[in-house]
Chain A
């Protein structure tokens, strides 16, 4: 579904990503793990077209999308839940979900999809008239995910969904990610919380200062000595 090859990205003189290559198959949960500053978010930004890459190939659904402007990627089904939620805080929960569906024309199906989102996140339903800025961090994460689901993603990219959340909430969010995946959405997950990410992912890539240093089945990486030492704290 997604194939990235030889991707290079610079911030000014800083070479942030070196020849990154990875792929995501349909139906998978793939995770990119790594420490702060390893380039995880840069990869997602590059995929979403928010930062231009110097060179490389991003093939999504058999189409090179590296030069497609950010706002058009949503129409192709490449949808991102950005780091730090980035919900529209002055808009209501309902309006945020509506913005998520901005790229869609099939207005008749909206109600069914709102219900689907509320089924995943019952708490959003209680608060649907509230301004998004007044929600708690966990609720905002749920809203950001619900908003992305409203776009009917083929590939859902998530940047640090666990950030700043309590362990119970993290567990809840990850359960929902698994559920969304089971319902047929492919997921690319970027996480610092390697333990959680590896426990739900099918495959994983380990990122270190802009390079992919390891890859494999998530269950294998969970047992890998180097990964254990560097990221799992055991």
Chain B
């Protein structure tokens, strides 16, 4: 989504996830706050980080070549990881929140509660996001800005506010993601975000970048491919298979699975 508007791959997005995870550690372990409060504060913290990063690191580069902001994004990612290393040490910490709810049994299948929660929350957020982008005033400004900065300004849209708002939403989602991730993989380390960040990006490319359901479909396919490879072929080959699928899809449909090739009259 952020990519759709600023044409910038935010490599630091996964590290926002890490920020969210550490925020949860601090708030729960050290301050002992209850779960709902922690959720809200984690989201706020991620939004704060995202907005500051956008204003300080990306905004000044908006009119420079895209490669500059790309490198800056990688730089921001490294900065966040190393800051976390400095503050929290490389030793992984346990994620402090967990639910002791029995797995659901449907037919002969057992599904963990976290899995169900993750799927439900993601689906709900995807629908909400779709509605926001399609119907709301903010969503329409986002679409206008993503098509044409200058024309959007000529409509009276404040491009800077719109971009900041987009980052804020993206980072709020990363905050929620950090909680779901923590529930599923309960160790927190400074490099926690880099792999999910990369995989999320690949999922987005696979599904069609800038298309919200595309990202979810891409993620689902990647996850399935990974698990099935691990189960039936070899756990070492799982990444190879995932990247293989990506390469094949991009060869035949460069705009991703749900991507439309834009035909525009000039």
A108 to chain B, nearest CB (A): 16
Complex alpha-carbon distance, A137 and B266, angstroms: 7
Complex alpha-carbon distance, A86 and B158, angstroms: 17
User: With A88-B143, A88-B147 as given contacts, are A74 and B154 in contact (CB-CB < 8 Å)?
Assistant: yes
Jot down 29 A-B pairs with beta carbons below 8 A, ordered by A. A49-B153, A50-B150, A70-B153, A70-B154, A71-B159, A73-B156, A74-B155, A75-B156, A79-B154, A82-B150, A82-B154, A86-B150, A87-B151, A90-B143, A90-B262, A91-B140, A91-B147, A95-B140, A98-B140, A99-B140, A99-B144, A99-B152, A99-B155, A99-B157, A102-B141, A102-B156, A133-B263, A133-B264, A134-B263
User: With A89-B262, A136-B265 as given contacts, are A80 and B147 in contact (CB-CB < 8 Å)?
Assistant: no
Complex alpha-carbon distance, A140 and B148, angstroms: 15
* Contact flags B112-156 to A (C-beta < 8 A → 1, else 0): 000000000000000000000000010011011001101111111
List chain A residues, Cβ under 8 A from B144. 88, 91, 99
A185 to chain B, nearest CB (A): 16
Complex alpha-carbon distance, A79 and B154, angstroms: 7
Which among B137, B141, B155 has the greatest number of chain A C-beta atoms within 10 A?
A: B155
Which among B148, B264, B265 has the greatest number of chain A C-beta atoms within 10 A?
A: B265
A162 to chain B, nearest CB (A): 16
Contact-residue bracket for chain A: 20 to 34
List chain B residues, Cβ under 8 A from A79. 154
Which among A80, A88, A100 has the greatest number of chain B C-beta atoms within 10 A?
A: A88
List chain A residues, Cβ under 8 A from B154. 48, 50, 70, 74, 79-80, 82, 86
**A75-119 interface (Cβ within 8 A of B):** 75, 79-80, 82, 84, 86-91, 95, 98-100, 102-103
The 8 Å CB contact of A71, one of B153, B262, B264, is B153
List chain A residues, Cβ under 8 A from B141. 102
- Whether the pair B156, A88 counts as a contact (CB closer than 8 A) is no
* Contact flags B241-266 to A (C-beta < 8 A → 1, else 0): 00000000000000000000011111
A48 to chain B, nearest CB (A): 6
User: With A88-B144, A88-B147, A99-B140 as given contacts, are A134 and B157 in contact (CB-CB < 8 Å)?
Assistant: no
Which among A70, A72, A135, A147 has the greatest number of chain B C-beta atoms within 10 A?
A: A70
Q: Other than the known A71-B153, A89-B262, what 6 A-B pairs have Cβ atoms closer than 8 Å? A: A71-B152, A72-B156, A86-B151, A95-B140, A98-B140, A151-B155
List chain B residues, Cβ under 8 A from A88. 143-144, 147-148, 151
List chain A residues, Cβ under 8 A from B153. 48-50, 70-71
Task: Give the 6 A-B residue pairs with the shortest CB-CB distance, closest first.
Answer: A74-B156, A103-B156, A86-B151, A70-B153, A102-B155, A88-B147
List chain B residues, Cβ under 8 A from A134. 263, 265
List chain B residues, Cβ under 8 A from A75. 156
Complex alpha-carbon distance, A103 and B154, angstroms: 10
The 8 Å CB contact of B265, one of A49, A50, A137, is A137
Which among B154, B156, B159 has the greatest number of chain A C-beta atoms within 10 A?
A: B154
List chain B residues, Cβ under 8 A from A73. 156
The residue on A at minimum CB distance from B134 is A95
Complex alpha-carbon distance, A88 and B266, angstroms: 12
- Whether the pair B143, A91 counts as a contact (CB closer than 8 A) is yes
* Contact flags B26-44 to A (C-beta < 8 A → 1, else 0): 0000000000000000000
The residue on B at minimum CB distance from A51 is B150
Complex alpha-carbon distance, A150 and B146, angstroms: 21
